[in-house]
Structure 1
Amino acid sequence: MTIHQFYQPPLHWQQFEEFAVQLLAEVYDVPTAQQYGRSGQAQHGVDVYGRSRKHGLIAMQCKRLSDRDANNQPYPGGPITREFFFAEAQAIEDFPHAVSIWILVTTARRDTRVQGYAEELNEQWEKNGIDRTATVWSWDDCVSHLNSYPDLRKRYYRDVIQVNSVDDLDQMVLETISMAFNRTAFELPLHIETPDEFLQALQDTQRAVRTGELLDRKSRHVIRKSIGGWRQIHNRDWQAALGKIDKDLRALRAGVEHGLKDGSIRRTSNYLDFADRRKADELEELRSGCVRDLSAVLIEAGLPPI
């Protein structure tokens, strides 16, 4: 019996389309598989295409979803409605070459409703004498292909392949959270922090702690992504410690926001100016406590402290 591994979908639609090219090349043995056109050009429901010796021309429409559930997984079915599915299928009628297989490949999880749309479409095509087959590759199907084709797996997920145990997964989450704390918001004294940048840093750090996604400070693009946030930590003691850090970060952010609203914290020359010294000490202790608690977990995990 072979145990298959799950893989997260690519973060960006461009990566997903590039992945689909290689997927088509491997699964249908289409070495000439390529992306069709570019953004802004009429693509007629086709993002990727290639000609198979056995099956003829195969066309793929790529649909990367951004909608995710509490576990950071794409919602089943997502926004793939019957109207969307049939509109995309109709668009390929204007494709300049005869398509024998049309595949909607998506990061959504497998869903019987969407599979039903494909069967309904195939019945319509057969009734109308159209020699073409429609199918849906959900992300579950993509994962199955990744587990079946080692070269494809190594090309896109060679770092993930190095994960051999729950301890490795815990380390990946901890490393991402550690990187999120490596910023001036957790180094400079509070009174020389700029309000907007400080609040943005707290928000980004909370996001990394909760979801495992780390954003670039300037571009706002995701630059690192682990398999979820603190709730995915398997070590119960570490999970509890990180849960407390998440709570304290929320309290720190709320304290600063509330202070700016009620005037106990002022913006002076674009810096935080505390009218209430006791409030400043409370917020400083919350911030320092987050760093101490995280450093303790990192040291126990064999990682460098903050």
Structure 2
Amino acid sequence: MGNVWQFFQPPLYWQQFEELCAGLLTEVYGVPNAQQVGRPGQAQNGVDVFGTSARHGRIGIQCKRLSDLDENNNPYPGGPITRALLRDAADDALSFVPDLKLWILATTARRDTKVQGWVEELNNEWEQMGRKRIAIVWTWDECISHLNSYPELQRRYYRDVIQVGSPKDIDEIILRTIAMAFARPAFEVPLHCETPSEFFHALKDTQKALRTGELVDRESRQVIRKAIGGYRELDDDLARTGLGDVDKHLKLLRTQLEQGLKDGTIVTVGTCLDIRQPDLARYLDELRQRCLDDLNNVLRYAGIPTV
């Protein structure tokens, strides 16, 4: 493939990623009949996109958009690539009819040498079993390369989508989204003035934005901004490490509040929190301030306005 000269955001939703994979299959492998398989929720036997290439035979793609976490901060189906996920997806695709010559696991995750090793291991096993099928993985790095090689795909799928010129631009989008998540009353109003339910909602929303890049509106609960991913997707090592500390402190703050409500050291009085131990109140305030201080250090480092 040619040099990568343009970076692209992964599609925000899995439906868009499937559509993009159908376009990639058409262009990259010359598959004129590439199509999505079934309807959402139907059993698809490990294949979301299917088509036949004159040169390569029948090809199936399993599409995994990987950034999103559920309300418990666990990956949605298709979460981070593990050896077990790869194996399960490959086994599912074995029952797809008609049989495939090439099976592709397409993901929005970045290239990982561990995953490449697992794919090689899988292909060796299939060869020893006499199975005439090959597995490959399209990470988002491969998708970017294909997009740069086929301008028609750029025009078709990215005409109205933000394009960015470098990893630094991607980092800025992620950091600005996370900064917006912290610019809310939960990190401004004194703890004893907070409404417990709203405060916990705010902490949960902020954790989600930090870890996934998805920010929801406080009132409507609708997604109002979604970046490429959470802090783990940052290209800059120092920024990623700094926000990792924010994530740890935020998790500890939430855990301490939940424990206090459970053991009675924190109680609800009317619509406010009553923290009955002064030392605990100071500690919680310090944790909250530490989150902001660490975040603002990263924002200053990146040249972005602080919260």
Task: Give yes or no for the alignment of 1:114 onto 2:128.
Answer: no
Structure showing greater relative contact order (alpha-carbon pairs closer than 8 Å, 6 or more residues apart): 2
Question: Residue type of the partner of 1:254?
Answer: T
**Which residue of structure 1 aligns with residue 37 of structure 2?**
36
- TM, length-normalised to structure 2: 0.69
How far the C-alpha of 1:63 sits from its partner, in A, is 4.3
What is the CA-CA distance between 1:92 and the residue it aligns to? 0.5
Q: 1:103 to 1:143 in 2, by over 3 A?
A: farther
Which residue is 2:86 aligned to? 80
What TM-score do the two structures reach when normalised by structure 1?
0.69
Alignment RMSD, CA only? 4.3
SS state at 2:253 partner: helix
Residue pairs, 1:146-157, within 5 angstroms: 146-153=147-154, 155-156=157-158
| Identical-pair percentage | 37
CA spacing shift, 1:115–1:106, aligned 2, 3 Å? farther
Q: Distance in 1 between matches of 2:225 and 2:171?
A: 19
The residue number in structure 2 matching 1:92 is: 97
Q: How does 1:189-228 map to 2 (within 5 A)?
A: 189-209=190-210, 211-216=211-216, 224-226=226-228, 228=230
Q: Which has more radius of gyration?
A: 1
C-alpha spacing 1:157/1:232, structure 2 compared with 1 (3 Å): farther
1:138 is aligned to 137
Distance across 2 between alignment mates of 1:297 and 1:43? 43
Structure 2 unmatched runs, 5+: 69-74, 110-114
- 1:44 and 1:235, CA in 2 relative to 1: closer, same or farther beyond 3 A? closer
Q: Report the secondary structure of 1:255's partner residue.
A: helix
Query: 5 Å matches for 1:54-73?
Result: 54-55=54-55, 58-64=58-64
- Offset at 1:189? 3.1
Q: 1:267, CA displacement in angstroms?
A: 1.8
Give the 3 Å change call, closer, same or farther, for CA 245–124 of structure 1 in structure 2. Answer: closer
Cα distance in 2 for residues equivalent to 1:106 and 1:230: 20
Cα pair 2:2 2:149 within 8 Å, conserved: no
Matching residue's letter, 2:60: M
CA displacement at 1:75 relative to structure 2: 3.0
Aligned to 1:104: 104
Distance of aligned partners of 1:151 and 1:269 in 2 relative to their CA distance in 1, 3 Å threshold: farther
What is the aligned partner in structure 2 of residue 131 from structure 1?
none
Separation (CA, whole Å) in 1 of partners of 2:90 and 2:304:
48
Asked if the contact 1:60–1:102 (Cα under 8 Å) also holds between the matched residues in 2, the reply is yes
Q: Which amino acid in the other structure matches residue 85 of structure 2? A: P
Query: Which segment is superposed worse, 276-285 or 1-10?
Result: 1-10
Letter aligned with residue 114 of structure 1: L
Q: Give SS of 1:92's match.
A: coil
